Amino acid sequence: MNTTPTEPRTEPTTSVVGSVNDLSARAGACSLPIILGFTFLNSAATGATFNGISFVTSNALNYGPIQNGIMGLMLGVTYVLGALGASPAIKALRVRFPSLTARTVLLYLVLTAAALNMFPVLVWLIGGAWTDPTRAPRCAWAIWLFVGLYSTLCGALWPVVESFLSGGRRGEALRSAMGRFNVTWSGSLVVSMCILSPLQTQAAMLPLAVMSLMHLASLAFLAKLPKEAGAHLHDDAHATPANYPKLLRVHRILLPTAYAVMYAMSPMLPQIIDSIGFEKTVATPFAATWLFGRVVAFFVFERWKSWHGTWVTATWGTALLLGGFALVVMSPVIASHATQVVAQVACGIGLLFFGFGAAAIYCGALFYALEVGQAEVDAGGMHEAMIGLGYTVGPLCMLLPQVLAAPSFISSSPLIKADTVSGLTLGLVGLVVGVGVLAAWKFGNRQ
């Protein structure tokens, strides 16, 4: 898949969403505002589920970290299946239905996503849980089924979207487009997380109904996309720098490591924020602090012309990620030894640092995947599969300390439990990051 500066390829690469005969029509890049508009609405919807489902289940079903962690684990496994299955599934469909286009694939995916969002809403209505919260536990199965199916679908959706973003773009054009893409999707998550809390005060499942409408609204942008993503051409005019393949290998290890840290933290956030004195009405906006930090960092990367091609970005990104996580996870311990205000400030700073670090690693991983790899569903699919791997490992790091710190194993004293859970979680995540950094170093230096 990879090419080197000394051996550029002049032949076009065939897409899994288009045949060789389509290449003349696919040579140009699609309209950036159109794909960004489509991205904003769909990312707002999917992001509310991936980042906000723990708050929904905590409020609607009184779930704690263990239940949310198990759900997060399922989310990760199904996301990997969707990401890795996107390319072969579309190839098989292209063989079975030769007239199938990438735009049609997106249409089916978006319509299915909208329907899946409405499924728990309908179950809540039919089961009476919409008006009587005491009936919610008997409807909980709908949330689990929704998360499993929706996560699989999202794993297939984003590789196709990324193929439209990168097709027909290389070098500076790709870097700029990717920067705007990152600002767009990450900014949409801040919006969706901030509106999640007021929607939940009206009805527990109302956020999912609104996200379904967002998916449907994105069809207005989808109608203006070309039938196929732009072709990815390798030629002498654009030679990939010699260290890019090595940086790609490094970031392919760092990316799941970063998402493992992210999704070790995510199921714990509702309880962490509650324990340091925040009301439920401001819990989700405060949790979005790290999302806001990530948007700011993405904007900086979009303007910064020389962040790629060096090792420095990956180094400080990893340091900020782990340092921010440590501040967030230890904030309940800080509250028990100092004051809630000090703990709230520490948690807020930690979330910002975490967002900065996550952005640095994500930008590198996506840029090198699309620059070195094919600007096709294959490259985007591997990128998303690495994210899904982090979705899976993260909840495991969080679940083990929670189980060990249960009252049947350790004293139920809140201070002891907080210290034990926070310390064990931080230790496990630190171990994962250490192994990830070591693997990235060895894998990156492989000839």
Where residue 334 sits, what CATH number does that domain have? 1.20.1250.20
Query: Among positive and negative, which fits the CA dihedral 92, 93, 98, 102?
Result: negative
Instruction: Tell me if 228 is assigned to some domain.
Output: yes
Instruction: Tell me if 8 is assigned to some domain.
Output: no
Band the pLDDT of 255: cuts 50, 70, 90.
confident
Which of 98-107, 288-297, 372-381 shows the lowest per-residue confidence on average (mean pLDDT)?
Answer: 372-381
Q: What is the pLDDT of residues 159-185, one digit of tens each?
A: 888 888 877 777 778 778 888 888 898
Query: Among positive and negative, which fits the CA dihedral 151, 75, 259, 52?
Result: positive
Q: What is the pLDDT of residues 327-345, one digit of tens each?
A: 998 898 888 888 889 999 9
Q: What is the pLDDT of residues 364-390, one digit of tens each?
A: 887 787 677 554 555 555 656 666 677
Number of domains, the chain: 1
* CB contact at 8 A, 437 and 318: yes
The stretch 231-238 carries a mean pLDDT of 54
- Whether the pLDDT of residue 347 is over 90: the answer is yes
Burial of 177 (0-12, 13-18, 19+ CB in 10 A): buried
Instruction: Tell me if 141 is assigned to some domain.
Output: yes
Distances (CA, A) of 32 to 38, 94, 180, 295, 359: 10, 26, 9, 18, 21
Q: What is the pTM of this model?
A: 0.76
Instruction: Give the mean pLDDT of the chain.
Output: 79
Instruction: Tell me if 303 is assigned to some domain.
Output: yes
> Looking at residue 159, what is its pLDDT?
80
Q: What is the pLDDT of residues 67-93, one digit of tens each?
A: 888 888 888 888 878 777 777 887 788
The stretch 121-148 carries a mean pLDDT of 92
Residue found by looking up tokens 């032949």 in the block: 11
Query: Tokens at residue 138, please?
Result: 């008997």
Instruction: Tell me if 350 is assigned to some domain.
Output: yes
Residue found by looking up tokens 């492989």 in the block: 446
Neighbours of 280 (CB within 10 A): 15
Instruction: Tell me if 416 is assigned to some domain.
Output: yes
Give the span between the Cα atoms of 377 and 22, in whole angstroms. Answer: 16
Give the range of the structural domain holding residue 159, as residue numbers without chain letter: 29-444
* CB contact at 8 A, 207 and 52: yes
Instruction: Tell me if 207 is assigned to some domain.
Output: yes
> Looking at residue 41, what is its pLDDT?
96
> Looking at residue 29, what is its pLDDT?
78
Give the span between the Cα atoms of 322 and 350, in whole angstroms. Answer: 9
Instruction: Tell me if 16 is assigned to some domain.
Output: no
